[in-house]
């Protein structure tokens, strides 16, 4: 219902709003069926990707068919309690994610060079 009223009013959405949501603080044992149950209430879902690696556990990407459904899901599910964990639901921002990946690569390169040339930092002493 809320999505219909948003469309009829021809509401202008903020620039960060998109169809892809990044979900954090998920229980590690959540199933994809449970994710579809929770997020499917707000609209048609194209895809859900749940993190399984050590670094990505407790996170997921949810892709909606419609941008207004994604906005409604963010509005309603941010802070939603699932298995005594409060969900953090954000719009996926590729530029921020790429920046984090670049930062990690730079840190790894610095560590590699320090080891190669035998340089120790003040933390190492």
Residue 124 lies in a domain: no
pLDDT confidence band for 105 (50 / 70 / 90): confident
Q: What is the pTM of this model?
A: 0.70
Instruction: Output the 3-class SS for the chain.
Output: CHHHHHHHCCCCCCCCCCCEEEEECCCCCCCHHHHHHHHHHHCCEEEEEECCCCCCCCCEEEEECCHHHHHHHHHHHCCCEECCEECEEEECCHHHHHHHHHHHHHHHHHHHHHHHHCCCCCCCC
Residue 4 lies in a domain: no
pLDDT at 49 over 90: yes
Residue 120 lies in a domain: no
Q: What is the pLDDT of residue 94?
A: 77
pLDDT at 39 over 90: yes
Domain of 95 in residue numbering reads as: 18-115
Residue 12 lies in a domain: no
Q: How far is CA 30 from the centre of its chain?
A: 15
pLDDT at 71 over 70: yes
Residue 58 lies in a domain: yes
Work out how many domains the chain is built from and give that number.
Answer: 1
Residue 16 vs residues 66, 90, 92, 112: alpha-carbon distances, Å: 15, 10, 8, 36
Residue 24 lies in a domain: yes
Q: How far apart are CA 10 and CA 7, in angstroms?
A: 5
Tokens 């407790």, residue located = 58
CATH of the domain at 72: 3.30.70.330
pLDDT at 6 over 60: no
Mean pLDDT is lowest, of 8-17, 35-44, 61-70, for 8-17
Residue 76 lies in a domain: yes
pLDDT at 7 over 70: no
Contacts of 43 (CB under 8 A, 6+ apart): 3, 64, 65, 66, 68, 69, 70, 72, 73
- Residues 43-58 have a mean pLDDT of 93
Mean pLDDT is lowest, of 9-18, 30-39, 74-83, 89-98, for 9-18
Please give the structure tokens belonging to residue 61. 């990407």
Residue 102 lies in a domain: yes
């Amino acid at each position: 219902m809320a999505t219909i009223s948003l469309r009829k009013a021809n509401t202008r959405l903020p620039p960060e709003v998109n169809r892809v949501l990044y979900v954090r603080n998920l229980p590690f044992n959540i199933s994809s069926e449970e994710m579809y149950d929770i997020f499917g209430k707000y609209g048609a879902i194209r895809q859900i990707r749940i993190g399984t690696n050590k670094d990505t556990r407790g996170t997921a990407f949810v892709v909606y068919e419609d941008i207004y459904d994604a906005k409604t899901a963010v509005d309603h599910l941010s802070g939603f309690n699932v298995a005594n964990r409060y969900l953090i639901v954000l719009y996926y921002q590729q530029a921020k994610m790429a920046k984090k990946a670049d930062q990690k690569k730079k840190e790894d390169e610095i560590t590699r060079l320090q080891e190669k040339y035998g340089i120790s930092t003040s933390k190492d002493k």
